[in-house]
Amino acid sequence: MTTVVVVRKGNQVAIAADSQSTFGETRLGAGLDAQWNKIFEAHGGYFAISGSAAHDLVLQAVLKKPKKLDFSSRPAIFESFRKLHVKLKDDFFLKTEEEDNDPYESSQMTVLLANPHGIYGIFSLREVYEYSRFWAIGSGADYALGAIHAHYDNPEMDAAELARIGVEAGCAFDVNSSLPMTSYTIDLAKS
């Protein structure tokens, strides 16, 4: 589990994540994990995943393959993940079953994306949300959302500072999240 946040404020977006991986009752902290950064760069933005640790390398690999993918808007992200779903099944052996009554096959992952076009969440049935202010995923999300909400209107805090506060709150209260964290900030594209 994890705490991952995205924040949009002013002309910037930020993404931040904790560093702990959890396997049942066992936790792997940054001190023992040589690759503890949960955020990776692709297609001009930063992605982070909540869910199975296997998703990290799989999504990085599928996004590196030469293919025209567009992450500039909610409809474009949906279409890109629709195309990626086929690759996840065919090339990476994704098991798509979740609930019997699900209307679509699952991609089994929850992703946050920060790029020059905004902040987005992509969920297992390829639902795509564009957030106007902030969002969080993972087991520490509720704590992160509360902390960011409490400070968002402070004019002295920028997107990076709010993202830091969110991850720190997740790490303070969620047993499946811990510091250190990574954080990236991007300027929004001019409209």
3-state secondary structure 31-97: CCCCCCCCEEEECCEEEEEECCCHHHHHHHHHHHCCCCCCCCCHHHHHHHHHHHHHHHHHHHCCCCC
Give the pLDDT confidence score for residue 54 in this predicted structure. Answer: 81
Give the pLDDT confidence score for residue 103 in this predicted structure. Answer: 77
Q: What is the pTM of this model?
A: 0.93
Burial class (CB in 10 A: 0-12, 13-18, 19+), 110: buried
Mean pLDDT taken over the chain: 92
pLDDT-based confidence at 66, cuts 50/70/90?
Answer: low
Q: Is the pLDDT confidence value at 53 over 70?
A: yes
